Structure 1
């Protein structure tokens, strides 16, 4: 099986996360995120899935647009690592900017579905 076929479902989930952020599709984000997921922000703050979704719901994290720069994925069995770089126009805790963000994502496959289990974001 080719690498492109193996990595395509993981890339789809990574892109769905961006889509969900832009459209505020909390149901999509809930579905593609593992219950025990942890999100680490630029500030070093860590959030649980429920805290992260709540921040999106109340508008403390608001995403306007995103341009994908790169997406690299490595799959090993039921685990995957992705490094995704995007230029994201967002208002984060009141500060709007176009952020050059690199997300280091860990995904796990559960019942034939990939889910985000960890996300660490930094500027690049």
Structure 2
């Protein structure tokens, strides 16, 4: 995300992935990656402050992490304290992120 490597980021995401932003807007995989590629969303840094595994089975997981994210989102640069909840699923031997919800903390 910070490196702008949408190929690598895209490989981590399920085809039906979406990001639920703290504003409530849901953005699918293609649109989010396009925003990063075209500069609508520029991520400068992300510093993890805390991560918890909330649920873990052999083929699913829920992670909650708190991060300080320095980003320019559509011309508004700020450092946000975000709590991200990631829902993951394992297919064969590869984990994919199904969706992420973001909220301030």
Q: How does 1:1-124 map to 2 (within 5 A)?
A: 21-73=1-53, 74-124=55-105
CA distance in 1, matches of 2:96, 2:65: 15
Query: What TM-score does the superposition give when structure 2 sets the normalisation length?
Result: 0.95
CA distance in 1, matches of 2:4, 2:96: 18
- Structure 1: where are the runs of 5+ without partners? 1-20
Instruction: Answer 1 or 2: which has greater strand percent.
Output: 2
Alignment root-mean-square deviation, CA? 0.9
Query: What TM-score does the superposition give when structure 1 sets the normalisation length?
Result: 0.81
Instruction: Answer 1 or 2: which has greater helix percent.
Output: 1
- Structure 2: where are the runs of 5+ without partners? none
Question: Which secondary structure state, in structure 2, belongs to the residue aligned with residue 88 of structure 1?
Answer: strand
State the 4+ residue runs in structure 1 displaced beyond 3 angstroms. none
Aligned residues: 104
